[in-house]
Structure 1
Amino acid sequence: MIRSMRCDTYGLQSADGQSLKIAMSQKDHIAVTGRQIAAARTLLGQGQAELAKSASISVPTLKRMEASEGAAAGMANNVRAVISALETAGVEFIPQNGGGAGVRMKVP
């Protein structure tokens, strides 16, 4: 079982020979909580509708995700989409490390 993983970039080649790079987010392997998602959205000053649109999910799905106790509930692809949208907007998720999980803005 994978407990955590560092951010790695993998090079892939598509059928037509084009090279693709896929960055795996560290957050794909660390449980992000619903409260962290809500806090990150608030830190960015975004409403639920704005974040849901940028993650290509519905507002009710985001509401359920944010309201979940513990790890964000929902289909894995939806949770990843929300985390990705927040990270792209400049949020960094802080894992549980003795001081508690949290969020902050990335240093430019």
Structure 2
Amino acid sequence: MAIQMTPDLCRASRALVKWRQADLAKQSGVPEPTIQAFENGDPGRRMATMNNKAIVEAFEAAGLQFIPENGGGLGVRYAKPGKSWAHEGVNAIAERLKVSVQDAQDAIDAGALKVIRGLDSPSITEAEAARYEEVIRSGR
């Protein structure tokens, strides 16, 4: 079930990961003015499907888990460790980039962060590449 972001849920999610709107824009690839307009809009406002997906994925990658509206209301919480690439590190990066764990580790050990950007993978976005680089640099 896809999560439909709301302005309140977006602000709450940013608060949990201590991101400014600019941080969310950088991590999701959604322009900051779009995020500002969305968060400052009507509480029932909806975001375009592609922007919604990018924002949800950015928060999930940062370690958040969305709780579907199941009678108790839509919500967000910290995911258990191991549930996102931010907690899984090299294994999740290797899986996402469709390379072996050893190849991913070798690239990390060699300091070859540019390998991530040089992959012939149409499925990886610029925002995802930046997030993977951040994870590698931080050692998470």
**Band the TM-score falls in, shorter-chain normalisation:** 0.5 to 0.7
The corresponding residue for 2:74 is: 101
- In structure 2, the CA distance between the partners of 1:93 and 1:67, relative to structure 1 (3 Å rule), is farther
Does the 8 Å contact 2:28/2:54 carry over to 1? yes
Q: Which has the higher contact order (CA 8 A, sep 6+)?
A: 1
Q: What TM-score comes out, normalization by structure 2 length?
A: 0.52
Unaligned runs of 5+ in 2: 82-140
- Looking at secondary structure, tell me which structure has more helix per residue: 2
Q: CA deviation at 1:32?
A: 2.7
SS at match of 1:97: coil
Q: CA deviation at 1:59?
A: 1.1
Q: CA deviation at 1:55?
A: 0.8
- Looking at secondary structure, tell me which structure has more strand per residue: 1
CA distance in 2, matches of 1:84, 1:56: 11
CA distance in 1, matches of 2:63, 2:4: 19
Q: Percent identity?
A: 40
Does the 8 Å contact 1:95/1:102 carry over to 2? yes
The 5-angstrom pairing of residues 52-67 of structure 1 reads 52-67=25-40
- CA root-mean-square deviation: 1.6
CA distance in 1, matches of 2:33, 2:78: 26
Q: Which of 1 and 2 has greater Rg?
A: 2
Aligned residues: 80
CA distance in 2, matches of 1:57, 1:107: 26
Q: What TM-score comes out, normalization by structure 1 length?
A: 0.66
Unaligned runs of 5+ in 1: 6-26
